[in-house]
Structure 1
Amino acid sequence: MADLLKGLNPTVQALLATLLSVDIMTTSSKHNNHNGNRSDLPLSWRHRMGLSILGGALLLLSFPFFNLWPLIWIGLVPLLIAIQGVKPRRALLLGWICGAIYVSGMTYWILPLYPYANFPIVLLATLLLTGYLAFYVAGFSWIVRRLNLRSAPAYIFIPAVLWTALELLRGWLFTGLPWGSLGHSQYRFLPIAQIASITGLGGISFLIVSVNAALARLILNLRRWREEIRYILIPFALFLICLSYGIWKLERPLPPKGKIEIALIPGNVPQREKMYGDPRVTFRRYLENLDEVTYERPDLIVFPETFVLMDLLRPGRRGYIEMLQNRLREGGSWLLFGIPHYETKGDRGDYNAAVLLSPDRVVGKYYKQHLVPFSEYTPLRRYLPKSIKAKVVGVADFNKGRESVVLTLPNGARFGVVICFESVFPYIFREFVRKGVDFMGIITNDAWFEGTSAPYQHYAMAPFRAIETGKAVFRCANKGVTCVIGPNGRVISGVVKPDENGIIIAEVPLYPGITFYMRFGEWFPLTCLIALLAYMALSYFMKRAQRR
């Protein structure tokens, strides 16, 4: 080992030796045992299983419905203790059990889809998705044990780097599913949430895991706490720095360059009524709500995603558009609404569309870009047999939008809108912000999951999109949470919940500029991924050198 590091600067030698838990003066592994590899807590397998279950439960309770968000700061401690000293394959099992409990709170609400789909298929999809997401926690546990982190700095920060990198991959692989990342649990803890404007959500997850690892390290090494404390305090110092920054940012909001008035009409129509009822009845319901707000003369009125299951832009349905425009002329307002739309040009397919309508014309259309697999499109459909392909057309066969269309109001205010599942992905918001929008919007139909925690979990991501972009974000959700969120993540309007009937009229502030995160994107998780790969490679080569 000394030969391997001989040519390096002494300071670099010392740093590598500390992180990799090797003694550069000798190749013997006997001297490594005192570096925190032993545990002060001998545990039976039954106790380890119990800790794994406890960890999963703590993580689950940190998210909506329960919203016990402080638990996330200790939620991984039981798992880290449980996997200490076990073989990697056992750590894999313990991690999967913990992960399955954790993510079950984010997948169980798929089951209520069975009235609209075959129950065995819905059940299978729920189990497969739960198993898949749980493997990220299993992989985390397996890698932590494979690396056999001995030194305090490595034990505290490498798991944080690893978890952040895995969340990045989870948000990208198989079209991506970042739903329920650790950082989302902190949507109510706004001082800590503010660092998302710099690091994105990954910075919050990194901080959470590092604090958990520090606590686990302290518990595992209680007899040697004096030796460990200087390293264990580092994550808590980082926490205080982030907290101080967040408090400072919340107390010094930037002045907006202007404002618009908006009316949000969620409707809160049950999904069964939307699917199997007369769409003309649903249309009249929204028309009556429109009559209630036109006299207020808001700049923009918003209906949710697919407020009626009809393509109102088809020539044969021109009468519906005229009814809407007649109401809009009374106050000069413009209307944004979601519908399924059949484009007669181009690739000739159905789109999940958002339409901006003025009293005189259709001003613009945005087509949803990030579709939900198996719900809005069938992956690899072109390779399916014709008999199966015919059955999925019109059921799960939307076309993907290709452009982030910026919409402009008569007063010059520019905005973008995303549809439903797209609000989970920061990269879509980044594209709009780079095009110079003044505010953002989300329209969604959460009625599929009425009575579950899904609408609240979906909402929990919106404050982060506001913080990341530095823009106000309105949210109009059928059977979801409807409100306006300021650029610091605070709700700045009234709130209409899934089980309430109501209309929100509020001011939306317009903010110029661009945040650090919007400018540089996922720089922090990517840095974590590169650092992790470099650490693993360096560790591998050093262990090989030790064996010689």
Structure 2
Amino acid sequence: MAITPSAERCAALLTRPWPRAAASALVGALPALTFPVPAWWWLAYVALVPWLLLIRSAATARRAALDGWLGGAGFLLAVHHWLLPSLHIFILVLAALLGLLWAPWGVLAHRLLSGSPGAGRAAAALLLVPSGWLMVELARSWEYLGGPWGVFGASQWQVAPALKVASVGGIWLVSFLLVALNTAVTLLIWPPGARTTGSAAGLAGVLACVLSVTAVWLWAPRPRSAGSVRIAVVQPGVFSGGSGPQRRFDRQEELTRRLAGQRVDLVVWGESSVGEDLGRSADLRNRLAALSRAVGADLLVNVDARRSDRPGIFKSSVLVGPDGPTGERYDKMRLVPFGEYVPARSLLGWATSVGKAAGEDRMRGTHQVVMRVPTRQGELRIGPLVCFESAFPDMSRKLADDGAAVLVAQSSTSTFQHSWAPEQHASLASFRAAETWRPMIHATLTGVSTATDAHGRTLGPRLGTDRSAAAVYDVPLAGGTSPYVRAGDWTPAGAAGCVVLYVCWRVVRRLKRRPVCKPGRSQPRS
């Protein structure tokens, strides 16, 4: 295939430092379009190809590392752009620092894809490039680095085969297969017009990804039906002129009273739905207990306040029955960096002056809790999560393993009301449900509130960011244990093993190539 003059000019431009740096950030940002709000899920199958092609064309491993770093920074900035009003310039610093995680991945991809790889190197690329990507996702998923928001596999939250794959290997297996597919396409299309063993491996890689998903679809077991419950979500919405705690509480109270006579088993309010500790306010306890009696069901509220029995401010899921708080309580364990606490506040406390970082750190809970809720059919066991804890697969997996029949996430993204954040957050419920075979309720203050069944399918109605309403869901329960809950995070563990073996092989190979100095002879100069 002849190379056109425009392609030659483009290639020449990419040899210059600044244009190439801009291109790296741009192609790295491209996968952000696969997540809500754009939700171009189909783009995920090729979204990494431009980035991989750029890394492949790097003249040196150092240049590939820079391409990986800048691409990673561009990706994080695009996925989290809605944090800009809260963190201001600090979001650029965070993106640049966390983007460094992709630098080793850039080197790895360059070594495996550059030039015209033979069959062995191409096959290794199909395994190691997605394995390296998973190591990056796993590292940045550490709660102190921001958590697993924007994991590549999450782009497939509406795709039934991907959700089935998640029930076997979690969201990590979905990410692995997506990156493997992108790697295969990269091998298949470059160099253009050339028939190489790498291209043949690329074609084989595409077919392998398709066959893997098909095999999982046919083999993976399905959860069994185990009855149903009626769960209501109360979303007060945004009030003109602000949404102070008292006005919000009054609206939630009004919406909850409308549920009387609808035979609900549980009513769920969003994160920070109660602004005063129930141990301090007899009035709040009495009002909530009266609501429980009027509706005929327990209320799961979320208290964001200074505790009366412990020092500090906690965010707590609290179950309230007809006689008041039942004693079932969960204190949020994983807090949002710079939103609910400032890491190393003595060093980074200045962030509170340039954004909306927490003025006072929230306190952490110590363990997860499975709550027992009395219903008309018997006892319902629920597993509460607060805010971005729904992004952590291990937390929902632990709750399912501990016996929770329904996962309940209480959230508030009102600070980011007109951004991509509410839709992105709500979409995570599909993966947590599919991974664990446990339906999930996602209740927010201002939208998006939703419910999903044990297969990850959305149940109606869905409360968007323009709604102030209460919604009742007939939630089908599921029995059995999903392969992912049973086996755990075997995908990232296997990926880590592959990367470690590759690095060891490279080290041994380099040592063998070193010249050996024989006795009586001087070592040759390099």
Q: Which residue of 2 aligns with 1:142?
A: 107
- The change in CA–CA distance for 1:110 and 1:56 in structure 2 (over 3 A counts) is same
- The change in CA–CA distance for 1:179 and 1:331 in structure 2 (over 3 A counts) is closer
What TM-score comes out, normalization by structure 1 length?
Answer: 0.83
- The change in CA–CA distance for 1:228 and 1:271 in structure 2 (over 3 A counts) is farther
Unaligned runs of 5+ in 1: 1-39, 114-121
Checking the alignment, whether the CA contact within 8 Å between 1:304 and 1:443 is kept in structure 2 is yes
Q: Which residue of 1 aligns with 2:336?
A: 372
Deviation at 1:479, TM superposition (A): 2.1
CA RMSD of aligned residues (A): 2.8
Partner Cα distance (1:138, 1:263) in 2: 46
Match of 1:354 among 317, 321, 332: 317
Q: Which residue of 2 aligns with 1:110?
A: 83
Partner Cα distance (1:244, 1:147) in 2: 27
Checking the alignment, whether the CA contact within 8 Å between 1:294 and 1:327 is kept in structure 2 is no
Runs of 4+ off more than 4 Å: 40-43, 146-149, 245-250, 381-385
- 1:138-217 aligned at under 5 Å gives the runs 138-145=103-110, 150=117, 151-172=121-142, 174-217=144-187
Residue 360 of structure 2: SS of its match in structure 1? coil
Q: Which residue of 2 aligns with 1:10?
A: none
Checking the alignment, whether the CA contact within 8 Å between 2:460 and 2:473 is kept in structure 1 is yes
Residue 140 of structure 1: SS of its match in structure 2? helix
Counterpart AA for 2:133: W
Match of 2:262 among 287, 296, 312: 296
- The change in CA–CA distance for 1:130 and 1:383 in structure 2 (over 3 A counts) is closer
Match of 1:99 among 72, 75, 78: 72
- The change in CA–CA distance for 1:272 and 1:213 in structure 2 (over 3 A counts) is farther
Deviation at 1:41, TM superposition (A): 9.3
Number of aligned residues: 489
Partner Cα distance (1:478, 1:545) in 2: 62
Partner Cα distance (2:471, 2:306) in 1: 30
Checking the alignment, whether the CA contact within 8 Å between 1:309 and 1:340 is kept in structure 2 is yes
Query: Structure 1, residues 109-135: CA drift from partner, whole Å, max 9, x if none?
Result: 11233xxxxxxxx21321122213332
Deviation at 1:213, TM superposition (A): 1.1
- The change in CA–CA distance for 1:131 and 1:288 in structure 2 (over 3 A counts) is same
Deviation at 1:440, TM superposition (A): 0.6
Match of 1:496 among 456, 459, 463: 463
- The change in CA–CA distance for 1:138 and 1:41 in structure 2 (over 3 A counts) is farther
Residue 377 of structure 1: SS of its match in structure 2? coil
Checking the alignment, whether the CA contact within 8 Å between 1:305 and 1:478 is kept in structure 2 is yes
**Structure 1, 175-184 or 353-362: larger mean CA deviation:** 175-184
Q: Which residue of 2 aligns with 1:32?
A: none
What TM-score comes out, normalization by structure 2 length?
Answer: 0.86
Deviation at 1:415, TM superposition (A): 0.8
Counterpart AA for 1:64: P
Deviation at 1:381, TM superposition (A): 4.9
Partner Cα distance (1:196, 1:414) in 2: 23
- 1:449-528 aligned at under 5 Å gives the runs 449-528=416-495
Q: Which residue of 2 aligns with 1:17?
A: none
Checking the alignment, whether the CA contact within 8 Å between 2:29 and 2:74 is kept in structure 1 is yes
- 1:191-340 aligned at under 5 Å gives the runs 191-225=161-195, 227-245=197-215, 247-248=217-218, 254-269=223-238, 273-274=242-243, 277=244, 279-311=245-277, 313-315=278-280, 317-340=281-304
Residue 293 of structure 1: SS of its match in structure 2? coil
Matched, 1:132 2:97: yes
Counterpart AA for 1:409: V
Residue 315 of structure 2: SS of its match in structure 1? strand
Matched, 1:71 2:40: no
Deviation at 1:384, TM superposition (A): 9.4
Counterpart AA for 1:444: S
Checking the alignment, whether the CA contact within 8 Å between 1:343 and 1:349 is kept in structure 2 is yes
- The change in CA–CA distance for 1:281 and 1:270 in structure 2 (over 3 A counts) is closer
Checking the alignment, whether the CA contact within 8 Å between 2:406 and 2:438 is kept in structure 1 is yes
Checking the alignment, whether the CA contact within 8 Å between 1:107 and 1:129 is kept in structure 2 is no
Counterpart AA for 2:265: D
Checking the alignment, whether the CA contact within 8 Å between 2:29 and 2:76 is kept in structure 1 is no
Checking the alignment, whether the CA contact within 8 Å between 1:270 and 1:479 is kept in structure 2 is no
Checking the alignment, whether the CA contact within 8 Å between 1:261 and 1:506 is kept in structure 2 is yes
